[in-house]
Structure 1
């Protein structure tokens, strides 16, 4: 086997053999060398005795980062030989080091964190953590060692979210990131959290925005009426489009007062008796924030919305089944027939932007300014406020929105008070639907 003084110049000058491979040993470091294959690939290696047997150990390919340079390969060879001299298998050690390094990347640590939190958190809360820790804002952290992520990196992520005009999401992201890194410290993956002493960009002031009757009337008009009606009744020209799915999603959000993720994630197996006397929506505990099962009586208006969605879904399925005969089932496989509001769950913010354009158009036609900032969750608060103003008993309103913090359900009282108030809840939701249907936007005087 040929020997020569390995330098970058000689390595680059080595020509591949016409077939097979040739090993070149280094004059400066015994048993270290490079193998040149007929394909042109050059791979560093080192020989040493491990457990009394001579063993060839591959170091890595020659090339620019992330491959090995000559100096780096020589240093790795010395490390391998030192391990062999103390009786360890350097290849096994290297594999363990690589596995440990991979486990301590941000992506792998997040994967482990979410798996361990699955049994501890409600499904909706776990989804919030997943969206934060695997989303685009931290995408460039995925393959980085967690200890390499700095305080400046954390601040950079918060700045991204803040620039999108999402103050609440910005604060939530900091809370999620902080808990994740604290968990990494508890597992001895790192010593210091980069989120330590990072201040929230916004005060955690509890939101209390509830739409006024006039504001709710404008939103209801933008959702309730089709484009032609908006033009004729309110003089709205160039109506911004809103898909039937998003229209029905926001109407259901407004008329049931349930949480955004719960409505967006509604499935057909949760909905019962739409055409009967007891239309209802039943959520299991893993779909609710407080982890308790919840039943929502559906007003005739919401039942009709869901019947329309069901008919549209059935039509899509028939179309997909017809196409399946032509494309081997690809169209049918892509159809998620179990989701009531397919595609809405991960796009509620984008959906709200589409609705805002439409609401602003109605307000402008009424001679009114655009509505002050409001969120989808504010529709829930608006319903709770409105029901109380209508004289509906507070404990019934609390039961409608699955709260356990009211006087009738909190503390010791909640242990003994297992009343579901189902008739009262149905009456309350029916009354709310009638109230919203009667609202009409008024023109500014």
Structure 2
């Protein structure tokens, strides 16, 4: 291991005859230039605090890192080790070219998630899982000021390599959201995701809605499907109410008013950020009662630890049950589409269906609906859900001639007046 006084001229002219050679610097102990046939890399030999054994690492190459820059980084690392700093952390930072205290992608993700959690975003747990699995292992140690679009593409390409094109798009959207938030907070000067194209083409929206025969096979097939009791009842409840699976999964007893037959979804768990009151038809009550009487946990549909089920657990259960139930490939969200489609067949207006589904396009699309109309539309939602509940009960009872009640008749049945044109 030759020891020389490294100079810019020496480093630029250093060559290898094929074997790898380390030239140690006389000025900064431990710093060395590793010369091979393909590159000239900077490295450092150091000892961990309290240990006699020595370790070494490389942290950059010439000419992208000059001799003076390499000496400075070596001195920073050695001084940190002398002060008792964890050597493995220091090595990771020096490999990524970080300055002392510089913000990394991992740290930005932590700050971003803390802000979202403070704001009560209901998807923060899914964001955390996504960042921990698909972003942090790839570019977590990179200084945020040095992130390029190529680094972002490394994350999404890794996901696409698993055959998960749709999830790759979600990772891209999450990265854009996080980096945009960093700019807004003054943590970034430039957003590297600006004009970054989605990693995968977006496929056509799903159009799957169950027929009456498929509804029967789904409902009764859950008994033999590879799903837990609570997951089966949750999926049935989703079909009856037309709600989002995450909203049903996160339901707690405090949200239910069984005397008034009402489910009060708080704004913190609603996708459009508005509280949503849904009347419970008889079939929904029939699903809920045995569930509520079977346990005393706060979560209506508890997971393995007694907490509300996670969306990922529901999705996995649906995938496991596909073959046992015997339906063409389906998702939990198809149940929501099925509810809406059959309501429309029963004569329920698109506006009333939008109210039941709590779509922003209905409740917040205009100044009139978003600001001026304060009516809760409970009667309209009750009529729509009761019609669907009756129709669904008839389908499950295999009454092929189940009554399809026109909306005009339903209004008379439930004492509703026709809305003014």
Same fold (TM over 0.5): yes
Q: 1:299 to 1:38 in 2, by over 3 A?
A: closer
Whole-Å separation in 2 of the counterparts to 1:379 and 1:78? 60
Give the greater-gyration-radius structure (CA): 1
1:333 corresponds in structure 2 to none
**Cα offset, 1:299, TM superposition:** 2.0
1:129 corresponds in structure 2 to 127
**Cα offset, 1:282, TM superposition:** 1.1
2:373 corresponds in structure 1 to 417
Alignment deviations for residues 105-161 of structure 1 (CA, whole Å, 9 cap, x no partner): 2221011122334566x6234445334323356444334433565545533443454
Whole-Å separation in 1 of the counterparts to 2:48 and 2:204? 66
Name whichever of 254-263 and 398-407 sits farther off: 398-407
Q: Is the 8 A contact 1:103 1:109 kept in 2?
A: no
For normalisation by structure 2, the TM-score amounts to 0.65
**Cα offset, 1:37, TM superposition:** 11
| Matching residue within 291, 294, 307 for 2:273 | 291
**Cα offset, 1:286, TM superposition:** 0.8
2:253 corresponds in structure 1 to 268
Whole-Å separation in 1 of the counterparts to 2:165 and 2:395? 31
Aligned to 1:63, the other structure's residue is in SS state strand
Q: 1:109 to 1:413 in 2, by over 3 A?
A: closer
| Matching residue within 301, 304, 326 for 1:341 | 301
Whole-Å separation in 2 of the counterparts to 1:38 and 1:162? 42
Count of paired positions: 337
**Cα offset, 1:180, TM superposition:** 1.9
Structure 2 portions without partners, runs of 5+? 5-24, 31-44, 60-66, 84-92, 304-308, 399-421
Q: 1:298 to 1:77 in 2, by over 3 A?
A: closer
2:216 corresponds in structure 1 to 217
Alignment deviations for residues 13-48 of structure 1 (CA, whole Å, 9 cap, x no partner): xxxxxxxxxxxxxx955999x999997537xxxxxx
| Matching residue within 387, 405, 413 for 2:361 | 405
2:200 corresponds in structure 1 to 201
Whole-Å separation in 2 of the counterparts to 1:104 and 1:253? 43
Q: Is the 8 A contact 2:344 2:350 kept in 1?
A: yes
Name whichever of 166-175 and 155-164 sits farther off: 155-164
Alignment deviations for residues 384-418 of structure 1 (CA, whole Å, 9 cap, x no partner): 12112101233322221222423997332442222
**Cα offset, 1:256, TM superposition:** 1.0
Whole-Å separation in 1 of the counterparts to 2:332 and 2:242? 10
Q: Which has the higher contact order (CA 8 A, sep 6+)?
A: 1
Structure 1 portions without partners, runs of 5+? 8-26, 43-61, 84-89, 92-96, 228-239, 315-336, 361-369
Q: Is the 8 A contact 2:279 2:382 kept in 1?
A: yes
2:261 corresponds in structure 1 to 279
2:294 corresponds in structure 1 to 312
2:318 corresponds in structure 1 to 352
Alignment deviations for residues 37-86 of structure 1 (CA, whole Å, 9 cap, x no partner): 997537xxxxxxxxxxxxxxxxxxx423399xxx99x9359857xx9xxx
Q: How does 1:125-164 map to 2 (within 5 A)?
A: 125-136=123-134, 138-146=136-144, 151-162=149-160
Q: How does 1:56-67 map to 2 (within 5 A)?
A: 62-65=54-57
Q: How does 1:23-422 map to 2 (within 5 A)?
A: 40-41=51-52, 62-65=54-57, 75=71, 101=100, 104-118=103-117, 123-136=121-134, 138-146=136-144, 151-162=149-160, 166-185=164-183, 187-189=186-188, 191=190, 193=192, 196-203=195-202, 205-223=204-222, 226-227=223-224, 240-273=225-258, 276=259, 278-314=260-296, 337-343=297-303, 344-345=309-310, 346-360=312-326, 370-371=327-328, 373-406=329-362, 410-422=366-378
Q: 1:204 to 1:35 in 2, by over 3 A?
A: closer
Q: 1:304 to 1:195 in 2, by over 3 A?
A: same
Q: 1:428 to 1:193 in 2, by over 3 A?
A: same
| Matching residue within 391, 394, 401 for 1:435 | 391
For normalisation by structure 1, the TM-score amounts to 0.62
Q: Is the 8 A contact 1:294 1:402 kept in 2?
A: yes
